[in-house]
A and B are shown apart, each in its own frame.
Chain A
Amino acid sequence: MTTPTAVPATGNRAGTARRRGNRWLTQVGWRHLVAVLGVLFSLFPIVFVLSAALNPLGTLSSTELVPTAGVTFGNFGELFQRTAFAHWFLNSLLIAGVASFASIFLSALAAYAFSRMRFRGRRVGLLSLLLIQMFPQFLAIVAIFLIFATVTDLWPGIGFNTPWGLLLLYMGGALGVNTWLMKGFFDTLPRELDESATMDGASHAQVFFRIMLPLVAPILAVTGLLAFIGTINEFLMANVFLTSTNSKTLAVGMYGMLQGNERNANFGIFAAATLLTAIPTVLVFQFLQRYIVSGLTAGAVKG
């Protein structure tokens, strides 16, 4: 909070007496200073990960911020040889991809009803969603474990160690997280649009699929991306759920790499795995950055 106070002293009034350079410093220069400090703070752990991934020794104790002992891609090769990283990567992409797509779709459906229709129990429904969302779902993990123990007995195809069971579980949280946000998006769309479509004879489904969904599509993509990142990072449920090596997700598998005695020795391949995991999200992030800014606040402001 101290830096903004530095701004006013200059302004338009005092500036005339001072030299140009001084004015640049107080009006623009401090902004660059803050931004550079922020970037340094943002980057140094990431640079460290990069350096560890390229470190030929591959241990934590030998890793410096700048790789001094040479550069090698051996850690990446070792990652694929020694662990089931390819499996984990595909599992994570499958689970996170399907889960985020399906949960966005489910909450878009619900948000449409909450935004455009009036019915008994609407208020109660909205409030209960808010409340249920606040209950930390994984504290119910004992109950979930018991439920899925039964499910595994009956239908092994959707039980433990399968991506489908975990997907179903993630679907349970779909409504709570995104419905409110999306209701905000739908509320920002002018009602005249769907009114006129209805007057022209469009059914409620046509209004939803042909008019509303295309209009919020960019925002949906952003929400989907956030859901995707959230699912990739989900650790606890997946850790209970997936125990066999080939069924693990990235979070569970990579957590195992740093357990026990291997912690120091495995750091290089862990860092390599971290970088590979980050590539898809970082890329999509940079593409969607613009929409993220407008998307999140559109929901928040009008929410």
Chain B
Amino acid sequence: MSTSLSGSGPAQQAPGRGPVRRGLPRTSRTARNHAPITATGLAVKVVLLGLVAGIAIWAAFPLVAAEHWVGLGILAATTAGLGYLYLGRRHIPAKYLVPGTIFLIAFQVFPVLYTASTAFTNFGDGHRGSKDDAIVAIQTSSVKQVPGSAQYSLSIATQGDPTTGALVFLLGDPKTKEVFAGDAGGLRRLDPGQVESSSLTGKVTAADGYTVLNIGQASVRSKEITDLVVPTAGGAIRSNGLTRAYEGRAVRAYDAGCDCVKDSETGRTWTADAQAGAFVAADGERLTQGWKVNVGLQNFSRVLTDDTISGPFLGTLVWNFAFAIASTGGTFLLGMLIALALHSPRMRGSNLYRVLLILPYAMPSFAMLLVWRDLFNTDFGLVNNLFGLGVDWFGGSWTARFAVILVQLWLGYPYMFLVTTGALQAIPRELTEATSVDGASPWQSFRAVTLPLLLVALSPLLISSFAYNFNNFNAIYLTTEGAPFPADNPTNGATDLLITYTYRLAFGAQGAEFGFAAAISLLIFTIVAVVSAVSFRRTRKQEEVYS
């Protein structure tokens, strides 16, 4: 993006500030070049560029240490580009655009493109890494203790915090007295000089750079300890209790000849299926560890063809539109009504009303959403108490939908009230006065003059409000969490928006399906972009906007 914006390039006859002086003689360019270089300007430039260079050097060391040459190249190119851009006097527009664009590319465009690319893969639980990763995982998870397995003394350690840091096994070989450190990445030998071990059992008691967990700390994390498998050449090392470990033999092994995994105990084989990214047995059984493969448009066609998905999906789409329209329209109508009511020279105390009315907008919305969730509580919620009802609000589809829209109305109308007030004040009084002189009723003058002018002024805000509400994750996730769910489908509830549905697919308890979630993200993006583009066009403000 930065390249396309990097200024007029060869078209120097239309320098950066061209149209500002449209119609003036070309002398303006010399004027700009003669603009004096002030001492402050120079100082600021030097300090900022020095800062950039300093950050680049600070960032370079870890890259060199980790041998990330591509990253280092990008860093060097970016730094050099910044130096070139700000030391020279050309490419003026780029000087203003590049700072924001760098962040935009690094933290928005790049992740979005990455997400888009995963939409064509089966990336997700069981399909995370490469085929080799899957083979290693299958082999190590099938490790069993067999007679004659090597035994080690075990100490649990970490290089970080004892309660959260990644675990490391410190293993002492009782025969050779050698000490190893092992984690999921493999086994490393430790220098005997850095290790203290008990002379009696050979158990490591301290090691440089590691914190050895005591029994209490270790037993809290026993599940992690049981799950930690250290791959070795002949199999893998697993813990046996908190103080002993054994090197077991893998029961399942990969055979490159038949491109399959064989179980040496049962004799079953699972053959690699490159299309599905998994090892599949003759009877269709799949091993859970697969690998990431491209699946083309399968994720997209699943939305349309898979009945368990397409039916609920369509319902969610319709509800999503209804929610966005009702939220935007409802807040606008209510906000406008109150703004109209307060917009009168004869109205006293309108300032006080205004102060109180916009309070919901100033309250922290995440907290108020959680409060509203409890206001709708069936047993002791205020809504039921106040009106003497016993409604299970989030239990029924329609009451839950009504409730979330009501909450959105409360959160959103003060904003609409504020902007409508502003737009009303911008409409010249002569216009409405003229209509009343011509004998129009206030309703006619509202319909024919005020409302169209309001809509012209506010339609960009209404469109962006629609786009925002279409993807209003918090409004659902912090209140109903998508509930109520139909009995047969725990992934798609009645108040789910596409975005909360996608979030559940990607991070839910059913197991992550990042590829499928990314495909739906792309669909959401397309829908919002098309709706917004069409409505922007309809407002016919386009030409003015680009002028």
Q: What is A's interface to B at a CB cutoff of 8 Å?
A: 1, 3-5, 7-8, 11-12, 27-28, 30-32, 34-35, 38-39, 41-46, 48-49, 60-61, 63-65, 106-107, 109-110, 112-113, 116-126, 128, 130-132, 134-144, 146-147, 153-155, 168-169, 171-176, 179, 191, 194-195, 198-199, 201-206, 208, 229, 232-233, 235-236, 244, 250-251, 254-255, 258, 263, 267, 270-271, 273-274, 277-278, 281-282, 285-286, 289, 292-294, 296-297, 300-301, 303
- Tell whether, in the assembled complex, residue A42 and residue B360 are in contact, meaning their CB atoms are under 8 Å apart: yes
- Tell whether, in the assembled complex, residue B532 and residue A134 are in contact, meaning their CB atoms are under 8 Å apart: yes
Identify whether the interface residues of A are mostly helix, strand, loop, or mixed: helix
- Tell whether, in the assembled complex, residue A117 and residue B1 are in contact, meaning their CB atoms are under 8 Å apart: no
Residues of B with C-beta under 8 A to A278 = 362-364, 367
- Tell whether, in the assembled complex, residue B461 and residue A203 are in contact, meaning their CB atoms are under 8 Å apart: no
Q: Is B317 an interface residue (CB 8 A)?
A: no
Q: Is B529 an interface residue (CB 8 A)?
A: yes
Residues of A with C-beta under 8 A to B100 = 106-107, 109-110, 174-175, 179
Q: How many A-B residue pairs have CB under 8 A?
A: 347
Q: What is B's interface to A at a CB cutoff of 8 Å?
A: 1, 4-5, 7-9, 11, 14, 16-21, 28, 31-32, 34-38, 41, 59, 62-63, 66, 68, 92-93, 96-97, 99-101, 103-104, 106-112, 114-115, 118, 164, 333-334, 337-338, 340-342, 344, 346-347, 350, 353-368, 370-372, 374-375, 377, 379-380, 382, 385-386, 410, 414, 417-419, 421-423, 425-426, 436, 441-444, 446, 456-458, 460-461, 467, 471, 473-474, 477-478, 499, 502, 506, 514, 517-518, 521, 524-525, 528-529, 532, 541, 545-546
- Tell whether, in the assembled complex, residue A42 and residue B356 are in contact, meaning their CB atoms are under 8 Å apart: yes
CA distance A261 to B546 in the complex (A): 55
- Tell whether, in the assembled complex, residue B112 and residue A140 are in contact, meaning their CB atoms are under 8 Å apart: yes
From residue A135, how far is it (CB to closest CB) to chain B in Å?
5
Known A-B contacts A119-B7, A198-B20, A293-B418; A106 and B380 likewise in contact (beta carbons under 8 Å) = no
From residue A119, how far is it (CB to closest CB) to chain B in Å?
4
Residues of B with C-beta under 8 A to A31 = 341-342, 344, 347
Known A-B contacts A119-B7, A126-B546; A281 and B364 likewise in contact (beta carbons under 8 Å) = yes
CA distance A49 to B364 in the complex (A): 12
Q: Which of A120, A138, A251 contacts B366, CB < 8 Å?
A: A251
Tell which of A138, A139, A191, A285 has the most Cβ of chain B within 10 Å. Answer: A139
From residue A217, how far is it (CB to closest CB) to chain B in Å?
18
Residues of A with C-beta under 8 A to B5 = 119-122, 125
Extra A-B contacts (16), CB below 8 Å, given A60-B374, A139-B524, A140-B111 = A4-B442, A32-B347, A38-B417, A49-B368, A63-B382, A118-B19, A125-B97, A136-B471, A137-B112, A140-B521, A143-B114, A175-B104, A255-B370, A258-B374, A273-B367, A274-B367
Instruction: Name B3's closest neighbour in chain A (CB-CB).
Output: A121
- Tell whether, in the assembled complex, residue B473 and residue A138 are in contact, meaning their CB atoms are under 8 Å apart: yes
Residues of A with C-beta under 8 A to B19 = 118
Q: Which of A169, A175, A289 contacts B358, CB < 8 Å?
A: A289
Tell which of B11, B92, B363 has the most Cβ of chain A within 10 Å. Answer: B363
- Tell whether, in the assembled complex, residue B103 and residue A297 are in contact, meaning their CB atoms are under 8 Å apart: no
Known A-B contacts A46-B360, A139-B517; A297 and B442 likewise in contact (beta carbons under 8 Å) = no
- Tell whether, in the assembled complex, residue A139 and residue B115 are in contact, meaning their CB atoms are under 8 Å apart: yes
